[in-house]
Homo-oligomer: A and B are copies of this chain.
Amino acid sequence: MQNKPARGTPLPAYEQIKRHVLAQIESGALKPGDVVPSETEMVKEFGVARMTVSRALRELMAEGVLNRVRGSGTYVAPRQYESTVLQIRNIADEIAARGHRHTARVLALESSEEPTAVAALELDAGPAFHSRIVHYEEGEPIQYEDRYVNPEVFPDYLAQDFTLETPNNYMVRLAPIQRAEFRIYAQKPDAHVRQHLAMEIGEPCLLLLRRTWVGKHVATSVRLWHPASRFHLAGTV
């Protein structure tokens, strides 16, 4: 570890150690539940004082990345839900939490060269992956999902069976979501969506737009339509 920062103030040692651990988690070298090297080991590895290692690991714990147990060790924390605040959880989990049965119908699962898809993912060039899926709760349609997926982040997306696992679950399982951006609208659905959601004419939709990032890439961009009569968002702050 560079003890005396040369010039331009590179990065403090504790910050370098944090990034080193984060990089190992992102690369998969460290998985949830794995033991992270102890403070003593890192002191030797990086050639710094124990307080410095301690600060790095303590901050990673405060950020929810690690769990530390006195007397035992430091562990990689289990994967976080995308959001504990605005509970846009996996629709299948939500339905299961209500004790109901979730089913899904895949309308489309394809590669797309649409400029809107390429733009939504902030790609330089196509193709983008595209899926359209209707989710049912106890047989009633509750969500129409129109999703674009970055092939660089999820190269095997098209080979999945999304009647068995939701795209959301698949992606959360493979890559840690680092940032999400959402917008919520009340909107009248077009005829296509209205039909698939079995909605009355004139009934509004709750429309949720969301883009999520993995690293520097937009991993996915999704539009979720929900019939207003059967769905709302809720949460606590």
Contacts and interface: CB of A to CB of B under 8 A. Distances in A.
Interface of A: 51, 59, 62, 82-83, 85-86, 179-188, 202, 204-207, 226, 228, 232-237
B236 A184 contact: no
Given A182-B234, A186-B204, A188-B204, 11 more contacts: A82-B237, A85-B237, A86-B86, A179-B236, A180-B237, A181-B236, A182-B235, A183-B234, A184-B233, A186-B228, A188-B202
Given A85-B85, A85-B86, A206 B235 contact: no
Nearest to A177: B237
A237 B86 contact: yes
Oligomeric state, in copies: 2
A179 B39 CA distance: 35
Given A86-B86, A86-B235, A206 B184 contact: yes
Provide the main secondary structure of the chain A interface: strand
Given A204-B204, A237-B179, A232 B85 contact: no
The residue in A62, A184, A188 that gathers the most chain B C-beta atoms within 10 A of its C-beta is: A184
23 contacts: A51-B51, A85-B85, A86-B86, A86-B235, A86-B237, A179-B236, A180-B237, A181-B234, A181-B235, A182-B234, A182-B237, A183-B232, A183-B233, A184-B206, A184-B233, A185-B206, A185-B228, A185-B232, A186-B187, A186-B206, A186-B228, A187-B204, A187-B228
A231 to B, nearest CB: 8
Nearest to A212: B237
